[in-house]
Amino acid sequence: VQNETELRFRIAEDYAKLLPAILRDLENQRVALKIKHLSLNSNWLKDVYT
């Protein structure tokens, strides 16, 4: 590595490669939370109305 600027550029490049995977992971977590939330709500509705 020549200098700090080059180092930063390399880190940025590596991060850019990882970004799609990171975003996909976050999206999956968000979807999982939504599903969990919906199932909790449906259980609550069943308890209330049965």
Give 7-50 pLDDT, tens digit per residue: 999 999 998 999 999 999 999 999 999 888 888 877 776 777 76
What pLDDT does 1 receive?
Answer: 63
More confident residue, 6 or 47: 6
Tell me the C-alpha to C-alpha distance, in Å, between residue 29 and each of 13, 16, 24, 35.
25, 20, 9, 10
Q: What is the DSSP letter of 49?
A: H
What pLDDT does 50 receive?
Answer: 63
Sorted by sequence, the CB contacts under 8 Å of residue 10 that are 6+ apart come out as 1
pTM (2 d.p.): 0.53
To 10 degrees, the CA torsion angle through 12, 13, 14, 16? 80
25, 12, 19: which is closest to 33 by C-alpha? 25
